[in-house]
Amino acid sequence: MKNDSILCHLGAPRTAKPASLAEYGKLRESIILSPWAYLSEIDFIKAVTEKGQPFYSCLFTRDLMELGQEKLCWRQQVFAGADFDSVDVPVLDMVKRFSGMGLTPHFSYHTFSHNPASGLHNYRLVWKTETDLSLTYDQTFSALKKIRELSGNLSDGRATSVSRMWQGSNSGVVTYCSGAKRLDLRALCDG
pLDDT band at 69 (very low <50, low <70, confident <90, very high): low
Q: Is the pLDDT of residue 60 over 80?
A: no
| Ramachandran angles phi, psi of 168, nearest 5° | -85, -160
Q: Is the pLDDT of residue 65 over 60?
A: no
Global pTM value: 0.90
CB 151 within 8 A of CB 92: no
Give the whole-angstrom CA distance, residue 70 versus residue 64. 9
Average pLDDT on 15-31 reads 89
Q: Is the pLDDT of residue 62 over 60?
A: no
Average pLDDT on 3-25 reads 88
**Residue 150 sits in which domain range?**
5-190
Closest CA to 125 of 174, 178, 191: 174
Q: Is the pLDDT of residue 185 over 60?
A: yes
Average pLDDT on 47-52 reads 96
Q: Which residues contact 60 (CB under 8 A, 6 or more apart)?
A: 9, 32, 70, 73, 74, 75, 163
Q: Is the pLDDT of residue 10 over 60?
A: yes
Give the whole-angstrom CA distance, residue 49 versus residue 106. 13
CB 103 within 8 A of CB 127: yes
Give the whole-angstrom CA distance, residue 17 versus residue 22. 12
| Confidence at residue 2, expressed as pLDDT on a 0 to 100 scale | 43
| Ramachandran angles phi, psi of 150, nearest 5° | -65, -20
Q: Is the pLDDT of residue 1 over 50?
A: no
pLDDT band at 136 (very low <50, low <70, confident <90, very high): confident
Domain count, the chain: 1
